[in-house]
Amino acid sequence: MSRDNPHARDVMLARIRRALGVAGDDVARRVAVQRRLSAPRANTVPARASGSRTELVAAFRARLEQQSATFATAAAIGEVPALVAAYLREHNLPARIRMGSDPAIAALPWSEAPAVQIEHGAAAGSDEVGFSRAIGAAAETGTLVLTSGPDNPTSINFLPETHVILLAAADVAGSYEEIWRRLRTLHGDRTLPRTVNYISGPSRTADIEGMLVMGAHGPRRLHVILVGEAV
Amino acid sequence: MKPTAHTFPANATKALADPNLQIALGKLRTNYVGAIAAARARLPEFETLRDEARDIKNHVLAHLDLYLEEFERKVTEVGGVVHWASTHAEARALILDICRKAGAKTVTKGKSMISEEIALNDHLAANGIEPVETDLGEYLIQIRNEPPSHIIGPAVHLTREQVEADFRRLHTHLPKGRSLGEATELVAEARGILRERFLAADVGITGANFLIAETGTTVIVTNEGNGDLTQTLPKTHIVLASIEKVVPTLEDVSTILRVLARSATGQEISTYTTFSTGPRRPGDPDGPEQFHVVLLDGGRSEILGTEYRDILRCIRCGACMDHCPVYHAVGGHAYGWVYPGPIGAALNPALIGLEEAGHLPNASTFCGRCEEVCPMRIPLPRIMRFWREKQFALGRTGAPAKRAMRLWAWFARRPALYHLGARIAMPLLRLAARGRGRFHKLPQMGGWTDHRDFPAPEGSTFQAQWAKRRGGLP
């Protein structure tokens, strides 16, 4: 990064300190910042983010439906491949899906849906249907949470026109704060997976005369297969 | 972007006479104001969240140096690179350098107001790199070679017919007889055109709504998903952000997200909120191999030590302009620089100078709606008043305004005469309005009455009503 002015950083930080009338080595300020970062505290969490699991799942679904997503429910994980195949048929979509190798979806009994052809790995421009697994959801705004990793390509969430997402009802949380707590447990403090996607409906734009149109650049359709609890 | 704020009065006159613009602005009024009010009303905690959002940003600004250091440390830890740019020119040079090293021919871009601020597209184009805006609104104005007129709806000034004409003019490889009358058809065409650009781009540049110090994460908020394709597909991702975008923790960003979308579009949350932490990791099947963050000061550190530092809390939601009667009348281009509306009137004098932007803080009725709707509780009218006072102190207040103020002051210092004058003038004006309650024309006041009526006084004077209400108490 040879073009970087080696002094630019120091100059900018010094200017900020001058404007604030503080010194860089002020211990009290450093302690205040470190404390806030090492033990993150929740601010007000909306009351709508709490409730029984059943209430949260119902609220999550209602909000995401309002944001133009569709749902199918499965009592058991084994029903998922057939539900995917049914959705593709219903919407006249090719029986070919792109997905990662996350065990939660790769280990599904795909032999139950023999017509569906599966391609693994990152999405290409020609893929029409993507299939991913959400690691959780926040009921407060009907938001799905997906994370990237070796088995979970991010491109699947945005390139195909149709996005089908598997979500376990047991993974539905109330608030964003619960999601962060869960990710800290999974990945450690003060770090995140490379990409965390909050997805709250299909892609949309209102840039032409304020009219809402679905499928701006990302998926036109978002379909959630909710597994576990009857809703 | 080259400012034209110094010609605001002429810009405004032109805008008021532009029929297309007036149609488009009418739609803005109906589309957003109601949705924003409804979204706020659905969340009982909204006012508390505003207080907390304000406090978070105040805390950050008081410790800005330390949070930036932490942010840099965490980005570096995961293999990203943070670059520091004091000026627009430095930011442009840094980005061009990264693009050149990546061997870039085309660069896709997510919507970034900082990019507009530093005029990045012109700089890239002048150096042989083609910038492609991918947010639909930004694409629409890029092909017209226009600046954005609204910070979240850059093309809000355009009608559907204008977009159709532009697409027919530019997308000549498509069949001439194709139907393009509907918004859905226009969106589908843009999707097809831009899809190829996404797949071919060498570098993706996005802005950032937030930088998170806890984890070294950058955050973008979009509805289209264009920012995600921009940053996921190319080998290099550059994030361009100004220094005040940093927030401490994931909990803090959650609080501010709860007031952002509700204030911007009236959505509960934008469709996509994406948290990016560094480049592709071992074993990742996709994502950028390089992750750069360019931090721009661009005059912000100067604001930190001033009495208008509250302006640095802004999260660029656009609510102030959606609710501003002046913005509704003249649109965004009249303001003559990147940030229009009340936020521009308060911020632009600080960023491009009072000499250039001096008209803007005067383009306000002080109705106070901007402050009422600002999710970060920025006292916009107070900051505009600060700029007006500064102009007065510098002797830059216009002669007619000074004459009028002198006349008013002369009366105000003579209460008996003032009361007598008001008591006589009120019924006369009422009579002159001939029962219509307003004037279509008034001598010497064409600047007002050419575009709207002047209300005629009704009832009794303020002093008389005040005396009555207080029952004659002193």
Q: Which residues of A touch B228 (CB under 8 A)?
A: 154, 157-158, 197, 218
Instruction: Report the alpha-carbon angle B187-B238-B352, nearest 5.
Output: 85
A1: confidence class by pLDDT, cuts 50, 70, 90: very low
Partner B, chain A 70-89, Cβ-Cβ below 8 Å: none
Give the Cα separation of A62 and A54 in Å (integer): 12
Q: Is B223 on the interface with A (CB under 8 A)?
A: yes
B84-132 pLDDT per residue, tens: 999 999 999 999 999 999 999 999 999 999 999 999 999 999 999 999 9
Instruction: Tell me the whole-structure pTM to 2 decimals.
Output: 0.94
**pLDDT at B451 exceeding the cut of 80:** no
DSSP symbol at B97: H
Q: Measured between CA atoms, how close is B3 to chain A, in angstroms?
A: 24
Checking ipTM against 0.90, whether it exceeds it is yes
Stretch B383-388: mean pLDDT: 97
Q: Is A13 on the interface with B (CB under 8 A)?
A: yes
B472: confidence class by pLDDT, cuts 50, 70, 90: low
Q: Is A128 on the interface with B (CB under 8 A)?
A: no
Give the Cα separation of B300 and B318 in Å (integer): 19
Give the Cα separation of B328 and B26 in Å (integer): 8
Q: Measured between CA atoms, how close is B438 to chain A, in angstroms?
A: 33
Q: Which residues of A touch B68 (CB under 8 A)?
A: 12-13, 16
What is the radius of gyration, based on Cα positions, of chain A?
A: 22
**Any residues with CB less than 8 A from the CB of B227 and at least 6 apart, and which?**
B110, B111, B134, B135, B206, B220, B272, B274
A182-229 pLDDT per residue, tens: 999 999 999 999 999 999 999 999 999 989 999 999 999 999 999 995
B368-377 pLDDT per residue, tens: 999 999 999 9
Partner B, chain A 169-198, Cβ-Cβ below 8 Å: 175-177, 180, 190-198
* b/e A100-138 (16+ beta carbons within 10 angstroms → b): bebebbeebebeebeebebeeebbeeebebbbbbbbbbb
Partner A, chain B 400-439, Cβ-Cβ below 8 Å: none
**pLDDT at B28 exceeding the cut of 90:** no
Q: Measured between CA atoms, how close is A151 to chain B, in angstroms?
A: 7
User: With the CA atoms of B406, B407, B413 and B416 taken in that order, what torsion angle do they form, in degrees rounded to the nearest 10?
Assistant: 180
Q: Is B251 on the interface with A (CB under 8 A)?
A: yes
